[in-house]
Amino acid sequence: MKFSGAGGDRVAITADGKVLAKNYQTCVRDALKGWDALPEAERKPGAVNVGKREATDDDRPKPPPGGLIVKVYLRALGHDDHGKLRHAVPKDFIGDGDLRARYLQINPGLKLRDDEVDRIAQNFRTHKRAYEAHPDYMWLTEEEWKSLVPDKPTVGNTFPVPPGITKRIFRFHLDLNRTIGDPISQKIHLGELSLKVESVSPAEISMRLGGFAKVSDDLSGNNNRTFEARLYGRLVVDRKTGTFSRFDMLALGDTYGPFEAGLGHWPYSRPGRSPYGIAFGLLDAAASPAERFVPPRGAGPRFTWSSYFGTPK
């Protein structure tokens, strides 16, 4: 059993309610030890009568009928010795020099004990969440994705992406916190998105997406982590089916400033400006049913239709 929170938690219990383990890092290992220590009579099949399962709550989030599901990947990046982009590695966070000095640069006046410095460095070497790709999903209603298809496509025509879609991308999917913890809705400082028709044929309409954004996880109003990004993309409409055959988009830019200290995420802050990338693409037609029902931002029960789509369900 996992209880979601800002830091997450795990608890293992038996069918009759005995707590076997509740340590986040070692829950599974501790639970197995606790299970093996129980009397054999309590571990046999049928030892506990669980009873008939009642009806389950089917009010979990579901993709909008006829809607579009876009797969999203978010990743911290770095630069190699020649200045070219690469995937982030531990030293991008902990550095080759004085770790304490790096964090004092980010958070002046911060007090760190030696054991805290050692723990932070070890975490970055063993916990890969800060520098691996993190998946997400974006949902568009049928009405929304159809609003991106021009009625009379003409090469060279340019039109803005509808405000509701633009706001959703910026606020919910240019998420700086997604690679290190729970998703946080971003504060939009400025930005715009537009589509330009580049080619039209009997088979397809090809459009180029472009734009920019400046967002931040400004929870406390203290100039927290900020993302300045350019957005690029290619959208292709299959004219035979009237649907998108391609929905590729990339948000690439620099992040700067500290993460929210109150959430315990400040160790993941990086001095100066550091690259960050977010890639969008159509969910594969062969995707598993599970992927088709994962709500945007992994929000689960915290997902609300009205906040995400801006309209009542």
pLDDT per position as a tens digit, 90-142? 778 765 555 556 666 666 666 667 676 677 767 766 667 778 899 999 999 99
Report d(CA 144, CA 149) in Å as an integer.
Answer: 10
The answer to whether 95 and 125 are in contact (CB under 8 A) is no
Please tell me whether the overall predicted TM-score, pTM, comes out greater than 0.85 for this model.
no
Measured CA to CA in angstroms, residue 62 lies from 226, 233, 280, 300 at distances of 31, 27, 20, 10
Torsion of CA 201, 280, 94, 9, to 10 degrees: -170
Helix axes 99-106, 114-126, angle to 10 degrees: 90
3-class secondary-structure state, position 270: coil
Asked if residue 238 has pLDDT above 60, the reply is yes
3-state class (DSSP) for residue 140: strand
pLDDT of residue 254: 96
Could you tell me which residues come within 8 angstroms of residue 50 by beta carbon, excluding any fewer than 6 positions away?
15
pLDDT at 106: 60
33-79 confidence digits (pLDDT tens): 888 999 888 888 888 887 777 776 666 788 899 999 999 999 999 99
